[in-house]
Structure 1
Amino acid sequence: MSAHTHMPRSAWVYPALAILLYIVTEIPALGIGFTHTPAGLAFAAVLLVILFGTVFAAVHHAEVIAERIGEPYGTLLLTLSVTIIEVALIATIMLGENGVPTLARDTVFAVVMIVCNGLVGICILVGGLRYREQDFQVTGANVYLSVLIVLATITLILPNYTETTPGPVYSASQLGFVSVVTIVLYGVFLYTQTIRHRDYFIAGAGEGERDYAPAGRLFLISGSLLLVSLVGVVMLAKKFSLVVDAGAAAIGAPPAFAGVVVALLILLPEGVAALAAARKNDLQKSINLALGSSLATIGLTVPAVAIATYLLDKRLVLGLETRDTMLLIMTFLVSLATFGTGRTNILYGLVHLVMFAVFIFMVLVP
């Protein structure tokens, strides 16, 4: 029997508070917002509590909906929801007054490193400590990796080696071509995952079955509140980025640090759901969430940002620095080994966590 037989109060209170907090901060006469004063620091604390509460509310509603629609559609829903948040944030910051042409590249790279090393590593380690070994579908993992390697290479590495324009920037025609093939490849992947070869992404015969389907009324309410939660997270994440920037400046961290922290926040719903699945011995769902989010980030974010920058005549930097390229290649090589046997243990998890630690350290000490 599912735990989602009723809706906890926090599942609707935090989304409502998120929208309310955003509204009051947009009223200049109230003077509510983040500043380097005691009142501003108190606002930052309240913001963090409401923001994280709203993220967990989004996880709850996504899980309720997932129980109704089954796998792999449930994990796909959460993945696409988080990607929508990400696209909105990147577009808002990139196209603002102080545009950041490298933001899309840095965010996409951070998401890939966080989910393929940090999230995958912690899920494998936690599952290994609890169950010694865990199984998953090798075929499904190979599908994820093959598409991910191609998308990451043509969007994050290839721009450094083109001749029409000096790297790390694509020409308009190159960017258009890459955006089209990226969308096509991701679309075919979704067709493969949800229709053509759905069994590749389900661990066992019973994994796609639901022992409980939420009532229609609860399903509709959760659907509405999931949308409200996602909107609330997007609105407050803009305020949160100001707090992160101030914190990074206070500790002397490089600008890229703020992007990593915001990416961690955006990925929190998937992280919580993936870790919970690993603790329930459902590593397949953890892999679906982790690798699926990487694919969605590249497959949807890059084309969306490319269209926006083209229409507004902005510069889009995609090519990674040499150091980051090496980290990305190492991540793919180790992932091929990790997902090549269909069984994992704690050592695989630790290896990925070490690579994640190297990534974070290099952000702080470039």
Structure 2
Amino acid sequence: MESQPLLSSRDTHSIVIADLHGVKNILVGSYLNVLLLFIPFALASESLHWSDSVIFTLNFIAIIPLAKLLGTATEELALRSGSVVGALLNATFGNAIELILGIIALRAGLIRVVQASIIGSILSNLLLVLGCCFLAGGLSRYEQSFNVTAAQTSSSLLALTTLSIIIPAAFVKGFPQNDVNHALLDLSHGVAIILLIVYALSLLFQLRTHSDLYEDVDDHEEEPTISLAAAVVMLIVVTLLVAWHAEYLVGSIEGIVTQWHLSETFVGVILLPIVGNAAEHVSSVTFAMKNKMELCVGIAIGSSTQVGLFLTPFLVITGWMIGQPMTLYFETFETALLFASVLIVNYLIQDGKSNWLEGTMLLSVYAMIAVAFYNAPIPGDGF
């Protein structure tokens, strides 16, 4: 007796046609995807030996729509994987762009860029993304409300992250410099392991024991656009493209620092987070205008928490494995700004309500920070 194939050729053909139609809908579903036209030029820029400024700019632009597609592929997988696995996928790939950029920069020995991009990603989500949400949603409404318990839980975890950066700073200042260097690495490795454990426990809290606090108030059930196989292929292809572009982007940083007279810190804190957060930024503002503040606050503060509890310690451990002395000791200026920003956001969300003025305040804080980093002295420059 001959075994029958699970899918006939007609069924396979129908799935392929449906996937092609789904991919087409995904590509035309966002104006950001117009920037995909920059991909061939960005990939060719290195081989054609264009200037570092051109290479950086083209690859910077190309990664933005890829970040959106990476998020879409992850969501498609999540819709077909159940609530727990889906949430884990979103948690893992939520900051995939920052993770890829961080690993490549770390491998290149650009530790200051990695540290600056970590601070920048947290500040961008907390101040720029959340500020735009409060402002965009508040312009047409007196005030908006959100789940204060879930927001404050995430914000408290972010405060823990801030403490994990303050401790190494106090450690360095509190002991003789000659005795600190090796001990600082050991301290950072130990704290990184603790943060990863806390991150795993926070996922357990969010997905199992207190999942009701994080339930989406929107009852609309989303349907997958493409098949599971197509989503996996899309995720792999987009991830490989992002890694390719990130390699060129990171390789051109030292060149643009010289050509544009910028510091590596400004590039890491202000420019690189735009790449990873652009898609989230657009989505969050759209949700805010539709009065879906649970999603907005969840994206902004949740992404910051992921960077602090997962991405940061993961990069420290990665540096440990590849022989790069990545630590949790950041510049005092960056640490102070992070502490102040987390404090401000904690204060603004404690009542579970937002308005346009609060959004303006967050944006003004981010603007002041950007101006400060832009004017920060560049090592070796005379005045």
Q: If the TM-score is normalised by the length of the shorter chain, which range does it land in?
A: 0.7 to 0.9
Aligned equivalent of 2:5: none
Q: Displacement, 1:92? A: 1.9
Alignment of 1:165-244 (within 5 A): 166=177, 171-202=184-215, 204=217, 207=218, 209-214=219-224, 217-242=226-251
> Residues 133, 67 of structure 1: CA spacing in aligned structure 2 closer, same or farther, 3 A cutoff?
farther
SS in 1 for 2:329: coil
Aligned equivalent of 1:105: 115
8 A Cα contact 2:60 2:275, kept in partner: no
The residue type equivalent to 1:275 in the other structure is: V
8 A Cα contact 1:169 1:317, kept in partner: no
> Residues 237, 139 of structure 1: CA spacing in aligned structure 2 closer, same or farther, 3 A cutoff?
same
1:6 to 8, 11, 22: 22
> Residues 23, 252 of structure 1: CA spacing in aligned structure 2 closer, same or farther, 3 A cutoff?
closer
8 A Cα contact 1:83 1:300, kept in partner: no
Q: Displacement, 1:128? A: 0.9
2:343 to 314, 333, 337: 333
SS in 1 for 2:111: coil
Aligned equivalent of 2:286: 276
The residue type equivalent to 1:250 in the other structure is: Q
1:52 to 53, 64, 68: 64
Check if 1:251 corresponds to 2:260: yes
8 A Cα contact 2:185 2:325, kept in partner: no
Q: How far apart, CA to CA, are the structure 2 residues paired with 1:316 and 1:234?
A: 21
Q: Deviations over 1:48-73 (max 9, x none)?
A: 55433323333443454555568797
Q: How far apart, CA to CA, are the structure 2 residues paired with 1:72 and 1:278?
A: 26
Q: Which runs of 5+ in 1 are unaligned?
A: none
8 A Cα contact 2:74 2:90, kept in partner: yes
Check if 1:131 corresponds to 2:141: yes
Q: Deviations over 1:283-304 (max 9, x none)?
A: 1111211112112112222322
The residue type equivalent to 1:171 in the other structure is: L
> Residues 244, 201 of structure 1: CA spacing in aligned structure 2 closer, same or farther, 3 A cutoff?
same
Aligned equivalent of 2:73: 61
Aligned equivalent of 2:96: 84
8 A Cα contact 1:91 1:305, kept in partner: yes
> Residues 168, 112 of structure 1: CA spacing in aligned structure 2 closer, same or farther, 3 A cutoff?
farther
Q: How far apart, CA to CA, are the structure 2 residues paired with 1:165 and 1:275?
A: 48
> Residues 329, 59 of structure 1: CA spacing in aligned structure 2 closer, same or farther, 3 A cutoff?
same
Of stretches 119-128 and 99-108 in structure 1, the one that deviates more from structure 2 is 99-108
Check if 1:160 corresponds to 2:169: yes
Q: Displacement, 1:337? A: 1.7
The residue type equivalent to 2:92 in the other structure is: L
Aligned length: 347
8 A Cα contact 1:132 1:345, kept in partner: yes
Check if 1:354 corresponds to 2:364: yes
SS in 1 for 2:294: helix
Q: Displacement, 1:339? A: 1.1
Sequence identity percentage: 19
Q: How far apart, CA to CA, are the structure 1 residues paired with 2:370 and 2:319?
A: 28
Aligned equivalent of 1:306: 316
> Residues 54, 192 of structure 1: CA spacing in aligned structure 2 closer, same or farther, 3 A cutoff?
same
> Residues 223, 11 of structure 1: CA spacing in aligned structure 2 closer, same or farther, 3 A cutoff?
farther
TM-score norm. by structure 2 comes to 0.78
Please give the root-mean-square deviation of Cα atoms over the aligned residues, in Å: 3.4
Q: How far apart, CA to CA, are the structure 1 residues paired with 2:253 and 2:152?
A: 36
> Residues 186, 164 of structure 1: CA spacing in aligned structure 2 closer, same or farther, 3 A cutoff?
farther
SS in 2 for 1:267: helix
Alignment of 1:115-154 (within 5 A): 115-154=125-164
Q: Displacement, 1:265? A: 0.3
The residue type equivalent to 1:161 in the other structure is: A
TM-score norm. by structure 1 comes to 0.81
Q: Deviations over 1:147-183 (max 9, x none)?
A: 11012211x2111112577468853432232122101
Q: Displacement, 1:105? A: 2.3
SS in 1 for 2:140: helix
Q: Displacement, 1:274? A: 1.9
Q: Is the radius of gyration larger for structure 1 or structure 2?
A: 2
8 A Cα contact 1:136 1:283, kept in partner: yes
Q: How far apart, CA to CA, are the structure 1 residues paired with 2:135 and 2:261?
A: 32
Q: Which runs of 5+ in 2 are unaligned?
A: 1-20, 377-383
Q: Displacement, 1:356? A: 0.6
Q: Displacement, 1:236? A: 0.5
8 A Cα contact 2:188 2:327, kept in partner: no
> Residues 73, 168 of structure 1: CA spacing in aligned structure 2 closer, same or farther, 3 A cutoff?
farther
